[in-house]
Amino acid sequence: MRPGVRLGVDVGSVRIGVARSDPGGVLASPLETVRSGKGDVDRLVELVGESAAVEVVVGLPTSLSGREGPAAESARRFARLLARRLPEGTVRLYDERLTTVSAEAGLRAGGVHGRARRKVVDQAAAAVLLQAALEAERSTGRPAGEIVRGTRT
């Protein structure tokens, strides 16, 4: 396992959930919810700096069959914008199938309901995504997901 803090990012049309790992890459924890839109990439770049993160894992929403739709293209676009602002090789896309569903279930089981759950579900989904990416790297010995190039294409 490579050392260093990683951030997990669950991109939504209204909110962006952010999670952070410990420096050993063992445990992902919810960190912050960022409002989507103006200044969102700026805030994520700040969080990378504040956390001294070595990598950002952006969730790629695909269907259960593995197909990519408009949400996946939006996540890819966002990841490219972020990659343009960070050192080459810092941003990766990782399949996030069912992360929000898992996060919602976990919060419900923990007794978090209604408005309180809506405030943290994006962070929880980012933590589920990041934890899955950490475990994938631990089991394979290779970084999880696909690298995002910040080039303009």
Tally the domains of the chain.
1
**What are the Cα distances from residue 14, in Å, to 10, 17, 86, 99, 121?**
11, 10, 23, 17, 12
Q: 153 pLDDT band (50/70/90 cuts)? A: very low
Q: How far, in Å, CA of 91 to CA of 56, rounded?
A: 5
Is residue 149 included in any domain, yes or no? no
φ/ψ of residue 134, rounded to 5: -60, -45
More confident of the two residues 103 and 1: 1
Neighbours of 130 (CB within 10 A): 34
Per-residue pLDDT reduced to its tens digit, 7-25:
999 999 999 999 999 999 9
Is residue 147 included in any domain, yes or no? no
Q: How far, in Å, CA of 68 to CA of 137, rounded?
A: 23
- CATH number of the domain where residue 18 is located: 3.30.420.140
Is residue 152 included in any domain, yes or no? no
pLDDT score for 93: 97
Three-state DSSP class for residue 57? strand
Per-residue pLDDT reduced to its tens digit, 97-149:
655 556 566 666 777 666 655 667 889 899 999 999 999 999 999 999 999 99
Q: Are 150 and 84 within 8 A, CB to CB? A: yes
Q: How far, in Å, CA of 130 to CA of 9, rounded?
A: 8
- Of 29-38, 70-79, 102-111, 144-153, minimum mean pLDDT range: 102-111
Is residue 153 included in any domain, yes or no? no
Sign of CA dihedral 118, 120, 107, 60: positive
Range of the domain at 57: 6-142
Is residue 52 included in any domain, yes or no? yes
